[in-house]
Structure 1
């Protein structure tokens, strides 16, 4: 169905953008005989989109790859570019391995990375900002995540934002100065229940961003 991982990441961002219309394309989220790559999660922040893809390597191990894309003027996504990746620390298809990492907690940090990207926001230094991405491993009983903006100056009346789960790994991307508190929510019949302790996500320190890589600057 998809020729490569970048194409799958692009499809994940396209699906995230049109999900509310009910016309989002079906994406593989489980490993099976037909799917050797799956979408763990995606995250859209303004005109930047991120997708976390897991794939089964020829040696049998699972690897994770983080991709990003930018939204074009017509609302479509540009071809996805690779940001980072490596062999996964756990076998996500194994409940025993997942439980061994969680150790009874509702959420644990799965991965974290920082990247200079052109955001185009007014506060960006020459268009570039340092973004910090987080991936959280979430308890299997979690129905969704509630995200609370706890940055200085945040509107306390804004309430929480709900994040649905594609898998047991949830992806986040934070701009400088942002701070979010994440709560794992379980469904008990018609009621919602918070699982365990919340998790704090902190964006890069606000201020001038480091100069972009020379090869990127040469493309301007």
Structure 2
């Protein structure tokens, strides 16, 4: 089975203070957490733009413009599972596989994406586990299969396992991509920055003093 033609999706939320990366507060303020989110989005856009694909689409929640040369769709649905399912449905292209990532892995590399896409040569789906039990990417040869996501509990330690079970329950052959670490906590942020020290996220993090940020947040 040959490697399919692939489009890339980025599911992201506008980096508005108080609406993104709230688990980073403390040690950082909501404004600083939003700045880190913006940097993470920028790093992810850079990597997706450098990865071979037939199309790239930002699936956005809030006032977040599409990068140059990208398409844009609004997120829709009540809850993350339905929003993910809608993202695949709203961007489906005949004969084109879909690989989706979120904004929580600024350490993502072009190699990670190419390897995930290549896995679709011998299976129907590829799922990339996150260290916290979730997942950072899902690639589908047939985007219609994403409808199973609407019934999967998201943001739990069992999300990866439940998603894989739901896909297999549909009769799909599921490959596993590399494991990455989502940025949810200060420790996660430090690890992600260390994994990609030349990225915008790492540079943004290096300008922030957590001890000062905690004091500012309490004023």
Which fold has the larger relative contact order, with Cα–Cα distance below 8 Å and residues 6 or more apart in sequence?
Answer: 2
Q: Normalised by the size of structure 2, how large is the TM-score?
A: 0.31
Q: Which has the higher helix share?
A: 2
Larger Rg: 1
Q: Normalised by the size of structure 1, how large is the TM-score?
A: 0.31
Q: Which has the higher strand share?
A: 1
